[in-house]
Amino acid sequence: MITVPVDLGSRSYDVLVGAGVRHALSSVLPEGVSMVALVTQDAVAVDVDPGVDSRRFVLPSGEQAKTLANVETLCRGFASAGLARSDAVVAVGGGVVTDVAGFAAATYLRGIPYVNVPTTLLAQVDAAVGGKTGVNLPEGKNLVGAFWQPAAVLCDTEALAGLPAREWASGRGEMAKYAFLEERPGGGVPGEELLRLPLDEQVARCVAIKAGVVAGDEREGGRRMLLNYGHTLAHALEALAFEPGGGPDLRHGEAVAIGLVFAAELARRLGRIDAARVDLHRQVVGAFDLPTSMPAGCSAPELLTLMGRDKKARHDLTFVLDGPDGVQPVRGVPADEVLATLIAMGARER
């Protein structure tokens, strides 16, 4: 077992990584918990034993479960079950479950403890760590939520057995992002060392990178924005699914992979990096066996509108972009440069 601390003062907690760590659940529950609300989905075939009285709540499947209506349903269920402020929520599932259950925990009785037991690679390396919870609106992804740190996170790599190929790809998209965030001068091709590690160590390495960023900027006032590298376009591509007629069939990590390449192309257009650096992004993304091309049929103006609603934006277009000093947030990016980059990558002009 590998323990990765998330150092946030009084809100500090540990992330445990390894085969079978879900069985440590009872030992990480806060003192005084006498009832647990287990939040999961039908497709999640992972059982946990909190060691105390529990009630099971099942969210609908898919990204469509991330709604305010489902948060209300959970909170009403918690109230009917008699869940008290001294009790806890345990989220067992992927990023959808940890996002929704965490937001419900943050708002029920103005905040009760919760523990994440992530069961997908994406959730283990990213979504379940850091305390960002939330749900979607028709206008975009994760536009309503709260910063609410878990009491613990149990990344049981046994739970990844049998994970569908595209779910592995979704997690690898975040891993490709971390490859660039931990890049060191003269350190070789980003991600090469990470891909050679055993699975437990891959997960722990990504968690440690995120924990270090979160510890220095818990509420995304500055450096934590770096964790959104590749995500501005990714969230716009995912938001297309909420538009009439739906959008491209992409898992989150697949969208992030395309977003990383887009961010590199945009940075080159703005004169921040050269073509060789863009090629390196394509090489790294490809090494994680992820897509590098824009899905067919996407409208550049529509994507631009969706990117303007990104949480990083302050009435402008804000992107996390590579540059001479590494990856940084860049504000006030001209809309015409964004459109030109999208079109160059294959998006429609209208």
Which of 141, 177, 205, 224 is catalytic? The answer is: 224
What are the structure tokens assigned to 262, written together?
A: 């887009």
269 assigned to active site:
no
Which of 132, 172, 268, 281 is catalytic? The answer is: 132
Which of 141, 205, 210, 251 is catalytic? The answer is: 210
Which of 220, 238, 265, 302 is catalytic? The answer is: 220
Which of 252, 268, 311, 312 is catalytic? The answer is: 252
The DSSP annotation for 304-331 comes to HHHHTT-TT-SSS--EEE--TTSSEEE-
Task: Give the Cα separation of 350 and 347 in Å (integer).
Answer: 9
Do the beta carbons of residue 338 and residue 267 sit within 8 Å? Answer: no
182 assigned to active site:
no
The amino acid present at 115, given as its one-letter code, is: V
312 assigned to active site:
no
Strand 35-41 to 88-93 pairing: parallel
Phi, psi (deg, nearest 5) at residue 4? -115, 115
Task: Give the Cα separation of 172 and 178 in Å (integer).
Answer: 10
Do the beta carbons of residue 100 and residue 65 sit within 8 Å? Answer: yes
Which of 141, 235, 281, 311 is catalytic? The answer is: 235
The amino acid present at 11, given as its one-letter code, is: R
- CA angle in degrees (0–180, nearest 5) for 255-168-264: 35
314 in helix, strand or coil?
Answer: coil
Which of 174, 238, 265, 302 is catalytic? The answer is: 174
228 assigned to active site:
yes
DSSP secondary-structure letter at 234? H
Which of 66, 228, 238, 311 is catalytic? The answer is: 228
23 assigned to active site:
no
Which of 31, 110, 184, 314 is catalytic? The answer is: 110
Task: Give the Cα separation of 103 and 68 in Å (integer).
Answer: 10
66 assigned to active site:
no
Do the beta carbons of residue 329 and residue 226 sit within 8 Å? Answer: yes
- Annotated catalytic residues are 110, 132, 174, 210, 220, 224, 228, 231, 235, 252
